[in-house]
Amino acid sequence: MTSEDWRKSSYSYVNGDCIEVARNMDGLIRVRDSKNPSESLLAVGRVQWDAFVGDVRSGEYDHW
Does residue 1 fall inside a structural domain? no
Could you tell me which residues come within 8 angstroms of residue 25 by beta carbon, excluding any fewer than 6 positions away? 2
Residue 31 lies inside a defined structural domain of this protein: yes
Nearest Cα neighbor of 42 from 61, 25, 21 is: 21
Has residue 36 been placed in a domain? yes
Residue at 46 is within a domain: yes
Domain that holds residue 21: 7-57
* Domain-embedded: residue 22: yes
Residue 64 in domain? no
- Would you place residue 1 in the very low, low, confident or very high pLDDT band (cuts 50, 70, 90)? very low
Which of 1, 38, 33, 4 lies closest to 20, judged by CA? 33
Pick the residue with more confidence: 57 or 14? Answer: 57
Task: Look at the chain and report how many structural domains it folds into.
Answer: 1
Q: Is the dihedral of CA 41, 42, 45, 49 positive or negative?
A: negative
Question: Can you tell me the distance from the alpha carbon of 64 to that of 61, in angstroms, rounded to the nearest whole number?
Answer: 6
Q: Is residue 27 part of a domain?
A: yes
pLDDT for residue 52: 92
pLDDT tens digits for 25-63? 688 999 998 888 888 889 999 999 999 999 989 999 988
pTM confidence score: 0.70
